[in-house]
Structure 1
């Protein structure tokens, strides 16, 4: 079939590079407290104790960050989508937007974040799962987590007498 008169490429020339399909950037928020009046009050005050994870469909996994005592190993891990951490309950899902990165660019960004978030550097107040999720979400969409996601850590940092020391220290190997 002959090219149309308005066609600008010959039948032999390669197709232009395709734009990747957008990937949704989803944050799952888990309440770390059991359902209780305290948990409800903290949510009402926009200061809940939460764990967040990042989901990039169609992946069946979400990415999160946690601490461990093994030097030089990332603290970034995967878990099945909507599988809460032990003792936690799924509370809400946030749709932060979309990214148009190529699959290899997404993989590279995740590898860079995993290298930057070592398990031994985890700190409940200054470098926790919400910091990780915010970091990656900002790089993917330009938007971070809502302030309430990590407000409890900010309060704990401002008022350290409220946080037991063993909650902040990473276990020693």
Structure 2
């Protein structure tokens, strides 16, 4: 099935690690309320596993663009629905290692709205974990945009975040929070701020980038 992890039950001294794999879908525009009925829309999606949601976003640097947030609360998007994609039996520590390794394939400066977006990421993760794909309607507009880029609003063509990503380093008790590191912003950056698809976190508990494993 192409799975990276076994979906059979696994157990240790702490018990069973079986957890659901959930796709959380968000609207990027209120127009989705009308476009959805035609089988298209402009959506963001994240994968929820072990109580955290993981997504892929853009920034200007050749480093990890993967981030984690509280499920169903990704900043800047309007939560629409959740879709169960199956279950896996993987300890949280092993899943974290999986995500850190995957981060090397999803640098922020490689984000592309049509060719490599957040929905491509969730589809890839879902297939690696369960052997299943996300529903086609979630990323259908990217396929249409590959044929005719004029279908995509101009404001969504700019995906770069003009801020240095910060990384979330987990302590053993989970209490450690990252500090924000941002370079000097220019007037041009401020003018484009409302066009960013993903902003760096302003406080602990919002968006925290996942640091990739050095290779």
Residues 1:81 and 2:71 aligned together: yes
* Residues 31 and 164 of structure 1: CA distance in aligned 2, closer, same or farther (over 3 Å): closer
Contact 1:69 1:172 in 2 (8 A): yes
* Residues 151 and 92 of structure 1: CA distance in aligned 2, closer, same or farther (over 3 Å): same
1:116-146 CA deviation, whole Å, 9 max, x = no partner? Answer: 1000000001100001111111111111211
Q: Which moved more, 1:95-104 or 1:24-33?
A: 95-104
Alignment of 1:10-89 (within 5 A): 18=11, 20-34=16-30, 38-57=31-50, 59=51, 61-71=52-62, 73-86=63-76, 88-89=77-78
Q: Which runs of 5+ in 1 are unaligned?
A: 1-16
Q: Which runs of 5+ in 2 are unaligned?
A: 1-9, 163-215
1:31-74 CA deviation, whole Å, 9 max, x = no partner? Answer: 1112xxx32221101111110001113x2x31100010012x11
Q: Which has the higher Rg, Structure 1 or Structure 2?
A: 1
- How many residue pairs were aligned? 150
* Residues 145 and 171 of structure 1: CA distance in aligned 2, closer, same or farther (over 3 Å): same
Distance 1:78 1:172 in 2: 16
Alignment of 1:1-173 (within 5 A): 18=11, 20-34=16-30, 38-57=31-50, 59=51, 61-71=52-62, 73-86=63-76, 88-163=77-152, 167-171=156-160
SS at match of 1:85: coil
What's the C-alpha RMSD, in Å, of the aligned pairs?
Answer: 2.1
Displacement of 1:170 in angstroms is 4.7
Contact 1:30 1:90 in 2 (8 A): yes
* Residues 162 and 78 of structure 1: CA distance in aligned 2, closer, same or farther (over 3 Å): same
TM-score normalised to structure 1 length: 0.77
SS at match of 1:161: helix
Distance 1:80 1:104 in 2: 18
